[in-house]
């Protein structure tokens, strides 16, 4: 066993169990079509897959930690935490450019997720 040092923490006496990572409870983890979370193809296919992925996210018990993780890592592709690339960019940059028919949807989701985090 390597000795503890500057780059190797001394964990020989640490008996605190590590918490399970949030992604173990993610709804997408065992989804039968994981490619929907990273859609590719023609515009109509991408829109359909994105909508399907977001529907799965709406049922997910860990949607907030997923979104936070994606935002912290600067995830550029795919659907994470119920938001696609454009949704996350709008959320981060505050442009307020919601897609037609979804005015305020990104802001409402972000507010709901922030309230859920504050309550937890």
pLDDT of amino acid 22: 82
Angle 63-73/105-119 helices, nearest 10 degrees?
110
Question: Scanning the structure block, which residue is given the tokens 């309550």?
Answer: 119
* Rounded CA separation 11/4 (Å): 8
pLDDT beyond 60 at 62: yes
pLDDT greater at residue 64 or residue 110: 64
How confident is the prediction for the chain on average, in pLDDT? Answer: 79
DSSP type of residue 83: B
The reported pTM is: 0.62
Nearest to 57 by CA among 87, 79, 77: 79
Euclidean distance between the first and the last CA atom of the chain, given in angstroms as a whole number: 39
């Amino acid at each position: 066993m390597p000795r503890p040092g500057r780059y190797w923490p001394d964990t020989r006496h640490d008996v605190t169990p590590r918490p399970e990572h949030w992604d173990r409870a993610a709804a997408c983890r065992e989804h039968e079509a994981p490619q929907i979370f990273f859609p590719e193809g023609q515009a109509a296919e991408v829109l359909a897959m994105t909508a399907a992925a977001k529907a799965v996210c709406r049922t997910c018990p860990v949607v907030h930690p997923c979104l936070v993780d994606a935002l912290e890592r600067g995830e550029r592709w795919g659907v994470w935490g119920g938001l696609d690339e454009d949704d996350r960019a709008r959320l981060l940059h505050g442009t307020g450019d919601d897609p037609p028919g979804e005015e305020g949807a990104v802001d409402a989701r972000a507010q709901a997720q922030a309230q859920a985090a504050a309550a937890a």
